Structure 1
Amino acid sequence: MSAVAAIHAHTIEQLLSAVLPLSIDMDYWAAQDSGAISLALYFVESLPARAYVCITKAAAAMIEFAMRDNVSLRQVAEELYNFLSTRLLFPDLPLVRNSSLARLPQVPEKVNILSLTRREVRGKLRGLELARNSLALQIGQLSQASAVDNQTAISVTGLVEQIADIINSADRSRSEPISVQGDADLATLAASTLDMARRINSLSSSQLHKIKAYRRPSLFTRAWLPGIVVLCSVRYLSQYISGRSEDIANWAKDSLTTMCNYVSQYIIQPLRSGYETIRYGKHTYSVTTEESLVSDFQSLEDMVVRFASRFGNSDATAIRQRVMGGDLSDVMSVYAREMQQPFRNVLFGDLVQAMLIQVQKVKVDVGQTMAALDKLLKSNELNFLLLSTVPATLTLYSAASWVSSLLSRWISGASRHAVASIQVSMRDIDRLLNIDESKPVPPAVQGQLICLTLDLRRQALALPNAAAPGVLRLGHNWLPAPPRARSMFLQDVRDLESARLSGRQKRQVIERMHRTFRFL
């Protein structure tokens, strides 16, 4: 029993190892069918292989046709015209039955290349889906048979027969298929088990060989066009850089100098001035000085005192007090009298001196206004310094955020794609379990569940598994993760894989996963 159990587990492992390449191939064909550009690129990439197949088939067919008796030159020309048709570029399509050699793919007359390519891609995708469903059915049958055998202790003969049927269907080229009779004795059963153990290692490769025509093209076919583009681009860039190395070096140096000056003048220096203002009381913004205002005011007082003393007012203290309060009545009374005969007094009177005193008064008033403005600037100097750094700081912050977003996408790319794949797989599992919950899970559904949980196991490696609560980074967002998130997630995956649970119990497992893991 232990040997049969080991072979049973190894058989499921081999079948699952064949499912993973199928999923990769299906993703490739789905990507090619995503748009006209993808289809055109695929056609160009596969064009050399198509041309090779077309030429070889045409040559073989023409040789066969020419070797026939009673063949006219006109018939040869007609067949040559048929073989030169673009239909031979699509050898996977159905064949034309009314051709003399029945070798031409059956394609409607008015169909463009992209439509033919799309038909070919979707045909390969359908073939892979059928192959995966067949593998899922075999996996589901083995899984449910194992669960039944463990519960009811039934003879292992039925399980061995199922494994033998799977091996025989995968490798039909062998002349001696494995045969297990229901009433076989222990020796025959042991010999069959040993034969299965030897042939089971090639089960995965045999399954993949059966669907070789539906798999994605070879690495050379997929890489030759991008390789040529990369080589041409590298060659052009190398020539461009080698011919302008000095200009590029100067451009890089000037760019670095410009960035350094920009940061220094618009960020570092204003911040340094703000620090000096806070720490040492040093002022950067100033429109006038106190000494200049005091000097102008003293000059105005002296001018008014001398002017008033000429007209009999000798109380200098009273005059200075009136000037300090802004009163120029000692000058304005003389100015009003002198304005009665302005032309005469300009030449022979005191009108010019009175006007100059008023000009000095205006200068003093402007100085006082500028002093008030200077006090306002000094009281808000720190605000102005900080505001002057805002545009440059926002520019640098935007550039840094853009670079950080690129780096975060690159760093968290694995976890982001893993979570997206997990969400897609959980959605597919939910669709599979949309069945009658009162009935047992069918083998095909059970096998597809195991295939989907295989993807879940692979993507679960990106989940944190620390003992403390963690976080999962998805681009700019951080999602909370429970303690031992990976272990808990794999436990739920094992519950979904179990053939002993009913459909209702598995849906309850999915609901528990949605309650536990926020990223779902």
Structure 2
Amino acid sequence: MPSQFVCQFTKPLIHSFVFKPPFPLPGESTADALSSSDPSKKHALHALLVSLNDTQTITSSVVANTVTSLRSLDTLAVLNVDDSEEEALKYAIVTKLVVAVYAEALDTYLTQATEVEAEAEWWADIERSRFNVTWYLLQTLPGRLLNVARIIVQTVQAKDLPLQLSTLSPSSLRKLFPSPNSLHPSALLTAFFPQPLSITSSAFILSPKTETSSTLKQALSLVTLPTFLAQQECRYNRKELEKIRDERADALGRLAQLRGPLAALIGTPNSNHSQQGPFSFLGFLELLNSVVTSESVSSTALDDTFGAIQYLSQISLPSLDPIHVEYLRSRHLLRPSRITLLWPKLLFLPPLALYALRFGYASRVTFLDMLKDARETVEGFVKGWLVEPLKEVLKTVRAGGAEGEVGVIVSKEGVIADLESLERMTLSLARDELRYDSQQLNALAQKIRVGDLTPIMEIYEEDIRHPLKSAMMGSLLRGLFIQIQKAKVDIDQALSGIDRLLKSQELTFAFVGVAPAFAIVYLVLGLLGGLLGGIGGRGRYGGSRRRREILNVMRRIERLLITQPTTPLPSLPTGLLLLSVTRLRTYGERFLPGSSSSSGYFTGGRFPEGVREAFLEDVADLEDPELGRDAKMRVVERMWRCWGTVLGWSVGGLV
């Protein structure tokens, strides 16, 4: 089945042609037109057209059967060139067949380019890491040793030498596999590393050691030599695959550039039967065949439109994939088989697991104690730092600022008692010394409640003029005690204000107390989610690795549009652009949530139609062949602006 991109790319070609019943020719009635044609042939053509419309994917077998039916109709009935309805039916059928062949060619090269690029990226991941290179060397070690053993046996048999253990000595191997010079590796080294090595690498590896070379350097070179050669092999495979990808992308770009001529051809049907074939599709099919194959084709294979369609759908296009796969396998450019990549794990994991089980069983008491301590720690953390603080928060919210509740620092009753004590002491002194009546005492009581002790302070000022006499016989001590009580009341009132402030912020303090526990829980859950996402190969929007790949794809799209100022783009940039846009569409369809499960945010708001739909709309704009380079540059800028934060393309987002 063609990819979604190919379907979107070729759908307008089918929709651009609308079959309409013909009008009668000038001077001819509808009855005369119908009587001059073959009704059975029209019914057969109409049935073929209906079957093609009902078929979701027009495969090569459907194309072959349709072409056979058309040929049989042309053989069994004489073509009436004046019957416009018959011509329109045939034109509609051939249009669908040509578009189907064109779509198959696009899909074939797009699939090949995508697969080759995936292989190149796999080799690039191995190449950039020394650990990955070493692990890859271990994975492929049995096959390399088998190749070495085979070449040794073949060489010994070719020279009629006995196959003995002494033959495997270093001196015997040097005699069996001499190196012509320092720039050409021996056959033994070539058997171990079958891919061609660069001249500089060979010179570095095979250069003779001088007398001044230290033993440490020689030992270090022997240790790093296999890893270095394996890295060179990965680099060679990556570069070769990138060349093949560019070749497929160039062909894909040339095929995409044929869409305009095909659209113009479909929009202007020609019923003149010239040497170019019926409906003028033969020239397009010959051009299409020249793009997909470089082999010479006999003239009889492309002598008419039906023959060209049949040749492309049955011979030319189906042969592309086997040739492509065989070429990659013969060059050893594909990644190793799954069993080759898994054998170290299959070999070493069972004994390691058995050893771990034995060790765990022997240390089961210690493990049980550790699990018990861990359980108690988790329970204490949950109860003491999560459950209990949350209960206090709920209690605070439920109680609110209820009056009469015990204060944090001082109680309301204590402040009132101190103030009443001060009032009684002050009124008693005023009654004894100032001889106040009840009305004056009530007025003084009102002043005391607002903190005004002026009459008492006047008595105190008079007493301190004669402190000893006043202390022995006067009211100095009573005034001093009143001052002390007044200071206590002032302190209580200040603490009461602080207490009211703390009560108003009690909910804030409660959340501050539980915030560290929530932070720890959030970090632990995030680490567990990342671990489980890494094990399952999935994460938010496909995981950081997928999003990093799409970031590189977006960068390549923008770079292609910037470095190619001409319009239209050349074939290679066009193919690479289509390849990149296809990867964007595949990513969006597989890893972005749709409208029913939208979880993406954009500048603080949720996408109303879902992340996937909005992303694919931008991708469709990049796929649109009607948009020029400048318009696509604006689409890329919009995608950077809209998706940079959502998909973590911003700095520090890919974690």
AA aligned to 2:136 is: E
* Distance of aligned partners of 1:301 and 1:120 in 2 relative to their CA distance in 1, 3 Å threshold: same
Whether the aligned pair in 1 keeps the contact of 2:145 and 2:192 (CA below 8 Å) is yes
Residue 508 of structure 1 is matched in structure 2 by 630
Q: Which residue of 1 aligns with 2:566?
A: 437
Match of 2:61 in 1: none
Equivalent runs, 1:40-439 vs 2, <5 Å: 40-65=131-156, 67-69=158-160, 78-80=171-173, 89-94=192-197, 108-109=205-206, 112-113=224-225, 114-145=227-258, 147-149=260-262, 151=264, 154-156=280-282, 159-160=285-286, 163=289, 166=292, 180-182=297-299, 184=301, 190=307, 193=310, 196-197=313-314, 200-201=317-318, 203-212=320-329, 213-223=332-342, 232=352, 236=356, 239=360, 243-263=366-386, 266=389, 268-269=391-392, 272-273=395-396, 276=399, 278-287=401-410, 289-290=414-415, 293=418, 325=456, 336=468, 364=485, 367-389=488-510, 391-396=512-517, 398-399=519-520, 402=523, 412-414=540-542, 424-433=552-561, 434-435=563-564, 437=566
Report the counterpart of residue 14 of structure 1 in structure 2.
108
SS of the residue 1:108 aligns to: helix
Q: Alpha-carbon deviations, 1:301-348, whole Å to 9, x = none?
A: 99999xx9xxxx998999x99999376799989983699xxxxxxxxx
- C-alpha contact (below 8 Å) 2:393/2:507 kept by paired residues: yes
Q: 1:250 to 1:419 in 2, by over 3 A?
A: closer
Conserved? CA contact 1:25–1:216, under 8 Å? yes
CA 1:269/1:75 → structure 2, altered by over 3 Å: closer, same or farther? closer
Contact 1:136–1:444 under 8 Å retained in 2: yes
TM-score w.r.t. structure 2 length?
0.56
CA contact (8 A) 1:51 1:89 kept: no
1: distance between equivalents of 2:146 and 2:368?
Answer: 48
Provide the C-alpha distance between the structure 2 equivalents of 1:62 and 1:107, rounded to a whole number of angstroms: 28
CA spacing shift, 1:163–1:372, aligned 2, 3 Å: same
Q: Which residue of 1 aligns with 2:38?
A: none
What SS does the aligned partner of 1:46 have?
A: helix
CA distance in 1, matches of 2:188, 2:605: 57
Cα distance in 1 between the residues matched to 2:117 and 2:416: 86
Question: What is residue 6 of structure 2 aligned with on the other side?
Answer: none
CA deviation after TM superposition for structure 1 residue 20, in Å: 2.0
Distance 1:329 1:385 in 2: 45
What is the rounded CA distance, in whole Å, between the counterparts of 2:126 and 2:291 in structure 1? 35
Which stretch has the larger CA shift, 39-48 or 283-292? Answer: 283-292
Letter in 2 for 1:458: T
Contact in 1 for aligned 2:126/2:234 (Cα 8 Å): yes
Aligned residues: 474
TM-score, length basis structure 1: 0.68
Q: Deviations over 1:326-374 (max 9, x none)?
A: 76799989983699xxxxxxxxxx89xx999899768745643443244
**For the structure 1 residues 84 and 123, does the alpha-carbon distance in structure 2 shift closer, same or farther, using more than 3 Å as the test?**
closer
Q: Is the 8 A contact 2:148 2:188 kept in 1?
A: no
Tell me how far apart the structure 2 counterparts of residues 164 and 253 of structure 1 sit (CA, whole Å): 75
Q: Mean alpha-carbon deviation: is it higher for 47-56 or for 288-297?
A: 288-297
Partner-residue secondary structure (3-state), 1:279: coil
Deviation of 1:121 after TM superposition, in Å, equals 1.6
> Given the superposition, is the C-alpha separation of residues 145 and 260 from structure 1 closer, same or farther in structure 2, using an over 3 Å criterion?
same
Asked if the contact 1:271–1:385 (Cα under 8 Å) also holds between the matched residues in 2, the reply is no
Q: How does 1:441-480 map to 2 (within 5 A)?
A: 441-461=569-589, 472-473=600-601
Residue 57 and residue 168 in structure 1: after superposition, are their counterparts in 2 closer, same or farther (change >3 A)? farther
Pick from 624, 627, 634 the counterpart of residue 495 of structure 1.
624
Conservation of the 8 A alpha-carbon contact between 1:271 and 1:386 = no
CA distance in 1, matches of 2:168, 2:539: 65
2:389/2:510 contact within 8 Å kept: yes
User: Identity of aligned pairs, percent?
Assistant: 14
Instruction: Tell me if structure 2 keeps the 8 A contact 1:138–1:447.
Output: yes
- The aligned amino acid for 2:408 is Y
> What is the SS of the residue equivalent to 1:182?
coil
Shift of 1:507: 0.4
CA distance 1:187–1:163, shift in 2 (3 Å): closer
- In structure 2, the gaps of 5 or more residues are 1-93, 178-185, 208-220, 266-278, 445-452, 644-655
The match for 1:172 is none
Matched residues in 2 for 1:268 and 1:76: separation? 79
Distance in 2 of aligned mates of 1:463 and 1:427: 20
Q: 2:109 aligned with 1:39, yes or no?
A: no
Letter paired with 1:376: G
Asked whether the equivalents of residues 390 and 514 of structure 2 are also in contact (C-alpha less than 8 Å), the reply is yes
Any stretches of 5+ residues in structure 1 without a counterpart?
97-104, 170-178, 340-349
1:25–1:215: 8 Å Cα contact kept in structure 2? yes
Residue identity in the other structure for 1:372: Q
